[in-house]
Amino acid sequence: MEAYSLSPFLVFVLAVVAVMAVVVLAGVKQVPQAEQWTVERFGRYVRTLPPGLRLIVPIIDRVGQRLSMRETVLDIPSQDVISQDNATITADGVAFFQVVDAPRAAYEVQNLKGAMINLAMTNIRSVLGAMSLDDILSKRDDINARLLRVIDAATNPWGVKVTRVEIKDLRPPADLVEAMGRQMKAERDKRAEVLQAEGEKQSAILRAEGLKQAAILEAEGRREAAFRDAEAREREAQAEAHATASVSAAIAAGDTNAINYFVAQKYVEAIGGLATAPNQRVVLFPVEASSLIGSLGGIAEIAKSVFGPDGDRPSPAPAAAPAASAPAGVVADRPTEPAPPARGSVPNAGD
């Protein structure tokens, strides 16, 4: 059997077809989503390939840079920064950026991420170095806003949009942290003492106000009581004057019963005074009521003899009530200095 052999022409055709297939496949490019590729012709940028199946001229064109259009996180290494008040702190951060112009990001700067890291580090040193330590630790939002504004303006020619810049960590030296802790404790102790002093002050003020109000109310009470006592004494005096006037009018009219009532009332009051006197110890009762009645009858007879049976004579000055007969009582344990005798009093049986 004769061996099968290919003719030289057939071999040439197959070779041409294989080369053309390779060339065609080299010109077909599949660009992933959220990426853009730059196309260079003889080393010069000509166009950008968006996502999808794209064709380029084989051999003449080639893919230059493959750039991601997604937002990218860039870690900023830690570094030592000296603040305005010469305090050394260690600071690091993170930046978020997005490529918005692929050709400029590919050809305006070499090593885009490295350039952005160095730019962020220098701006962190500049911003933190212009602030005091207290401001650095308490104003992170202001620091982030200033860094974002400066870095975004600097990277705008590179076709990059910086969306956020954040300071991750700020670490002062250990001795400075200890001093800050002591300062904070001292400030809190000071505030506590001030608050305690304010509380004691307010308490003293309120206590003094309470005592003042109590004294005012007590004085007003005494004044009101004095007014009431004076009014009571005035009314009592008016009543006494009215009673005296009534008795005087009755005597002038020849009514001896008024004199009898008045004298009997004073006699009874005198006996009560003897019983309650502080220099008396024992008083024996009953007092002879007949003597009292006899005294009253004698007073009536005297009044009739003075004023007459019809009471036409003017009334003389009132005479002292006659002494009543001594009661059958005995007083013992009398002190050395005897008490003055009361009006209409009855002498003790011991005398």
- pLDDT tens-digit readout, 236-248: 888 888 877 777 7
Q: Phi then psi for 113, rounded to 5 degrees?
A: -65, -40
Contact 162, 151 (CB under 8 A): yes
C-alpha 86/C-alpha 151 separation (Å) is 25
pLDDT of residue 25: 84
Please report the DSSP string for 43-89 in residue order.
Answer: TEEEEEE-SEEEE--TTTEEEEEEEE-SEEEEEEEEEEEE-TTS-EE
Q: pTM for the complete prediction?
A: 0.51
Q: By CB neighbour count within 10 A (0-12 exposed, 13-18 middle, 19+ buried), where does 164 fall?
A: middle
Instruction: To the nearest 10°, report the CA torsion of 132, 135, 141, 142.
Output: -60
The pLDDT of residue 238: 86
Domain spans of the chain?
8-67, 71-172, 254-351
pLDDT of residue 325: 40
Residue pair 255/327 in contact by the 8 Å Cβ criterion: no
- The yes/no answer on whether domain 71-172 falls in CATH 3.30.479.30 is yes
Residues 35-74 pLDDT 10s: 999 999 988 999 999 999 898 888 888 998 999 999 999 9
The residue ranges of the chain whose pLDDT is under 50 are 1-2, 306, 311-351
Q: What are phi and psi of 238, to 5 degrees?
A: -60, -40
